[in-house]
């Protein structure tokens, strides 16, 4: 059995198949739970895959070589998010002013608060640079972290954890705050918890998902333009 596993683990198709099969299992469990936010398909899939890689001693690069087709599909999927957004164009234009304010405030609070709290807790400079873009979608966040002197791999972990937290708790928190409007809920989820939050938003309604997709996209752009400029000015004040 060991020899068979060594042979199969080297085949790219194995890891792609396992990734898809585990995700389908996670979706099945999510539906069986009645759509509970805590039974998040991404959280379940990541947990199972990480446990499998650790148990088999499989290097991440070998796994990625097999499952990178899923990574490739992120591009077309992101572009496809424009379709439901176009259906909400009239409301988007009507809410453009409040959405712009929410973008600026939400983006700055997400990045700067993480940086400041991390600095107060004594985190190192590379860790702070890795933590600051946690609310931005992974490819952009990793690029920002590298530009700031952070660790891209650590940023990816922070981004995933942020997204999972938002997908699980955002709707409950917003409900407690009295935020019920679908567009507002979606925009907040996409702004704070990027792609994973957006996926959760689409489970709520198409309008919620559309505004989450909008927030995810423009927050990535806004953060990429502002964070590398603001953090070097903030760093001396926290020493």
Measured distance CA(48)–CA(19) in Å, rounded: 10
Total residue length of the chain: 239
Smallest Cα–Cα separation from 222: which of 114, 91, 109?
109
DSSP 8-state class, residue 177: T
Return the pLDDT at 223.
92
Return the pLDDT at 28.
92
> How open is the CA angle 204-35-174, to the nearest 5 degrees?
50
Dump pLDDT digits (tens) for 187-232.
999 999 988 888 888 888 888 998 998 899 899 889 999 998 888 8
Question: Which residues have C-beta within 8 Å of that of residue 23, sequence separation ≥ 6?
Answer: 41, 45
Return the pLDDT at 55.
87
Q: Radius of gyration over alpha carbons of the chain, in Å?
A: 19
Contact yes or no for 111/135 (Cβ under 8 A): yes
Residue with tokens 């020493």: 239
Residue with tokens 């939400």: 106
The ranges assigned to domains in the chain are 2-73, 94-238
Q: What is the mean pLDDT of each run of 10 residues along the chain (239 residues)?
A: 57 81 91 85 89 86 79 76 81 88 93 90 89 88 89 88 90 90 92 88 88 90 90 78
């Amino acid at each position: 059995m060991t020899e068979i596993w060594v042979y199969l683990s080297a085949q790219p198709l194995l890891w792609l198949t396992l990734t898809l099969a585990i995700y389908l299992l996670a979706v099945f469990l999510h539906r069986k739970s009645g759509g509970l936010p805590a039974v998040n398909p991404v959280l379940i899939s990541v947990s199972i895959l990480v446990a499998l890689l650790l148990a088999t001693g499989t290097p991440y690069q070998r796994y990625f070589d097999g499952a990178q087709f899923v990574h490739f599909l992120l591009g077309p999927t992101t572009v496809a998010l424009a379709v439901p957004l176009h259906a909400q164009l009239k409301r988007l234009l009507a809410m453009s002013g409040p959405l712009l304010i929410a973008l600026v405030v939400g983006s700055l609070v997400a990045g700067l608060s993480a940086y400041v709290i991390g600095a107060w807790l004594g985190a190192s400079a590379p860790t702070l640079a890795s933590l600051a873009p946690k609310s931005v979608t992974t490819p952009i966040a990793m690029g920002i972290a590298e530009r700031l002197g952070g660790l891209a791999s650590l940023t990816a972990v922070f981004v995933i954890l942020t997204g999972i937290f938002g997908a699980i708790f955002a709707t409950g928190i917003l409900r407690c705050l009295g935020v019920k409007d679908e567009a507002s809920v979606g925009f907040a989820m996409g702004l704070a918890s990027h792609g994973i939050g957006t996926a959760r938003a689409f489970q709520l309604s198409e309008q919620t998902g559309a505004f989450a997709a909008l927030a995810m996209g423009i927050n990535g752009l806004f953060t990429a333009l502002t964070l590398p400029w603001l953090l070097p000015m903030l760093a001396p004040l926290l020493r």
